[in-house]
Structure 1
Amino acid sequence: MKIENHQFGRYDEMDVIEYTLSNDSGMTVSCLNFGCVITKILVPDRNGIVENVVLGFETFADYPKSSPYFGAVCGRVAGRIKGASFELDGKEYVLRQNEAPNHLHGGVKGFDSVIWNVEEVEGENAVGLKFSYLSLDGEEGYPGNLEITVTYLLTNDNELKVAYEAKTDKKTLVNLTNHSYFNLSGNIKRDCSEHVLQLDSGRFLELAPDLMPTGEMVETANTPFDFTKGRKLKDGMESTYPQNVLVGKGYDHPLVFSKEGDNRIVLSEEESGRVLEITTDQPCVVLYTSNMLEGEFEISGVKARKYLGVCLETQGLPDAIHHSNFPSVILNPEDVYLARTTYRFLTKN
């Protein structure tokens, strides 16, 4: 197992470094000190052909210019906050509007677009990186000095273990996630419409026309949102179900897990034989089938277009601060924010 690095670019007069973690099984994970961005995950298909299974750019300049959060850690609060404001203990906090009139993924300069400190770490049969960042009181409108660490650990079992930790000196909001776009075909040979997703979720959050949660949790039974027995993503892309049509024909919805504690998500692609197993302690996963991935840019030589990747953003429920029936994302000074998600890559015959 080893860790290598090289300069990938410059940002805010600082070096952007790309680190590559390699295990003894031939899997590699590359990531940046910019936004904790995962640029590449190379894993074999059923025939042993090693290819990249996440969307990313070959040059750094494309990230601040064109990236729709490819591979980044999003925060302080992942997802949208309605009206770009919230109230804590009777005081209103006004956030940056980067999706007017709402606030998205931490604001204009969220955790996805800052330079993090990096420490190389080694465990038993694992190598990794510990990213740290101090988000100052008032940054993007949030209260409190927030100390965050994000650890990426690659094991010899082809697992990428991601751990988040945060502490604050003032009551604030925290809800972190990783925004990788997965495509198990390898090197974007096909879109993700034929990918099969399976997870135990009996409800999803209904979205309003502005894509904000209405507060209603809809039963998934007899809808394209029922993934309990496995379902191709194209079911939602081709559906006339109003919630699929609303988000551009596909999915951009929080799926609420049926039970608390560790939950399992399985994504697979038949043609390559690749399987991604995700386990998480978070209450929901935001399923996004890149319905809005369009623009005059290329992703590793492939022109941007809808459905090239699927995001599985394990996190707390979006806009929870405005919905008392959602699990709280408030962090108090006496508490520690902890979240864990593991991505394991397999193949099936």
Structure 2
Amino acid sequence: MSIEDFTSIKLYTLKNTQGTIVKVTNYGAIITSIITADNQGEFTDIALGHNSLDEYLTAVDKPYFGAIAGPFANRIAKGKFTLNDKTYQLAINNGENHLHGGNIGLDKVIWSPTAISGEEFSGLSLSYIAADGEENYPGNVAFTVEYKLWDNNDLEIYYQASSDQDTYINLTNHSYFNLKGEGQGDVLDHLVFINADHYTPTDSTAIPTGAIVEVANGPFDFTKEKAITTDIDSDHEQIKFGNGYDHNFVLNKNTDEKMSLAASVYESLSGRYLEVFTEEPGIQFYTANYLDGRLASKNGETYIKRGGFCLETQHFPDSPNQENFPSTLLKAGEPFSSKTIYSFSVK
């Protein structure tokens, strides 16, 4: 990518009849802002991010604020998988593992934008074709992501992909939220529900062990709403491995159920309430354990440790190497699609 390419990067604003605003750039298909009302009708940006393109390009230890992560979101052990008797070596960019698509994943490319609209939504469609061998993934893969902001305050994300070769994909949006407002301290007081009776524990490098473990009565039990602070500094080995929460939860699904409630978060000061619905089998709950105050917030403060949370809908990490996990194989010529909704309201 040459510097001249950056002239094609734009910022797009979606707005609904309730005054909610979502801003998206075609660099990385990044959601840069989500501006919603609190229970007093005051509007605040609740999505962590940057004020300028330059910050997205140069920020230290890029935290993937608001970006589309892929072609394979989350981690692949040692950056290796075998497909059709051929072993592929991907970039090692997270300790000894591969993370979020490599050195130049979908979060760092320029997508082609098209405005879309309907009677009750405004939206943006973004497309990108990853060439065969890009970041050493097989296949020419056509990706499309649609963002739709509905008048009922649902933000719908619709992912599509197709490939001319068998390949592995796993797509998510990596937005960080603070329901008090971005840059307004930590999120430890937020009350979280996750509709999952099981999670996938990891080794010390954040790669799943392959086990699927019950959450009951431990720090990973969010089946009843609880504050993030309750167990985030537990002595549990998994909490120590993640420096907090950075784990995949196995969502409860009925056999005939596609779209379902995955999680919800409530913040009592603002009254903001976020619900996440998805067709995906998993969700990564991450509590911004590695933000450290070096990055400036959009409101002139800094992003501190645990200054946001992510709820990344996904297939499970390292799925290409885990036979008992839901498959992330995209067969040549077969379409892939998946939908996630972030629904904003107040109590």
- Superposition TM-score, scaled by structure 1 size: 0.94
Count of equivalent residues: 338
Q: Name the CA distance, whole Å, in 2 between partners of 1:147 and 1:12.
A: 20
Q: Is the CA contact (8 Å cut-off) linking 1:236 and 1:251 kept in structure 2?
A: no
Q: Specify the alignment match of 1:306 in structure 2.
A: 305
Letter in structure 2 aligned against 1:139: E
CA-to-partner distance for each residue in 1:30-67, whole Å, 9 max, x for gaps? 01000010000000000001000110101111112223
Q: How far does residue 199 in structure 1 lie from its aligned partner after superposition?
A: 2.3
Judged with a 3 Å threshold, the aligned counterparts in structure 2 of structure 1 residues 239 and 175 are, in CA distance, closer, same or farther, namely same
Alpha-carbon contact 2:183-2:302 (below 8 Å) kept: no
13-22 or 79-88, which moves further after superposition?
13-22
Partner of 2:12: 19
- Does the aligned pair in 1 maintain the 2:172–2:312 contact within 8 Å? yes
- Could you tell me whether the CA contact under 8 Å between 1:290 and 1:308 is conserved in 2? yes
AA aligned to 2:279 is: D
1:155 aligns with 2:150: yes
Question: Once the two structures are superposed, what CA deviation does each residue of 1:103-144 show, in whole Å capped at 9, x if it has no partner?
Answer: 100000000000000000012211100000000000001000
SS in 1 for 2:10: strand
1:180-235: CA deviation from partner (whole Å, max 9, x where unpaired): 00110024323110111112201111110111111111110011111111111112
From 245, 253, 258, the counterpart of 1:259? 253
CA distances 1:45-90 after superposition (whole Å, capped 9, x unpaired): 0000100011010111111222310000000000010111110011
1:95 aligns with 2:108: no
Q: Which residue number in structure 2 is paired with residue 202 of structure 1?
A: 197
Candidates 35, 44, 65, aligned match of 2:28: 35
Residue 146, structure 1, aligned to residue 144, structure 2: no
Cα distance 1:136–1:299, how it changes in 2: closer, same or farther (>3 A)?
A: same
In the alignment, which residue of structure 1 is the partner of 2:284?
286
Residues 141-220 of structure 1: pairs in structure 2 closer than 5 A: 141-220=136-215
Question: Is 2:341 aligned against 1:342?
Answer: yes
| Counterparts of 2:232 and 2:195, CA distance in 1 | 20
Does the 8 Å CA contact 1:200/1:257 hold for their aligned counterparts?
Answer: yes
- State the alpha-carbon separation in 2 of the partners of residues 296 and 12 from structure 1: 28
Provide the C-alpha distance between the structure 2 equivalents of 1:40 and 1:13, rounded to a whole number of angstroms: 20
Q: What's the secondary structure of 2:210's corresponding residue?
A: strand
Shift of 1:100: 4.0
CA distance in 2, matches of 1:336, 1:184: 35
Q: Distance in 1 between matches of 2:119 and 2:232?
A: 42
What is the identity, as a one-letter code, of the residue corresponding to 2:221? D
Q: Check 1:285–1:209 CA distance in 2 against 1; reply closer, same or farther (3 A cut).
A: same
Residue 239 of structure 1, CA deviation: 1.6
Aligned partner (choices 55, 58, 68) of residue 62 of structure 1? 55
- C-alpha contact 2:74 2:100 (8 A) present in aligned 1: yes
Distance in 1 separating the partners of 2:211 and 2:6: 46
- What SS does structure 2 have at the residue aligned with 1:298? coil
Counterpart amino acid of 1:259? K
Q: C-alpha deviations, 1:286-342, integer Å up to 9, x for none?
A: 000000112522122222321010000001001001110000001001321111001
Quick check: 2:185–2:303 contact (8 Å CA) kept in 1?
A: no
SS at structure 2 position matched to 1:213: coil
Q: Does the CA contact (< 8 Å) of 2:165 and 2:333 recur in 1?
A: no
Q: 1:11 to 1:194 in 2, by over 3 A?
A: farther
Aligned to 1:332: 331
1:174·1:337 contact (CA, 8 Å) conserved in 2? no
Q: If the length of structure 2 is used for normalisation, what is the TM-score?
A: 0.95
Q: Which has the higher strand share?
A: 1
Q: Partner of 2:325: helix, strand, or coil?
A: coil
Q: CA deviation at 1:257?
A: 0.7
Q: In 2 relative to 1, CA 110–47 (structure 1 residues): closer, same or farther, beyond 3 Å?
A: same
- Within 2, Cα distance between the matches of 1:11 and 1:159? 36
Partner of 1:7: none
**2: CA distance between counterparts of 1:221 and 1:124?**
44
Conserved? CA contact 2:144–2:161, under 8 Å: yes
Amino acid of the structure 2 residue aligned with 1:180: S
How far apart are the structure 2 equivalents of 1:65 and 1:218?
A: 39
Relative to structure 1, is the Cα distance of residues 334 and 15 closer, same or farther in structure 2, using a 3 angstrom cutoff?
Answer: closer
Structure 2 CA distance for aligned equivalents of residues 168 and 105 of structure 1: 19
| Contact 1:190-1:308 at 8 Å conserved across structures | yes
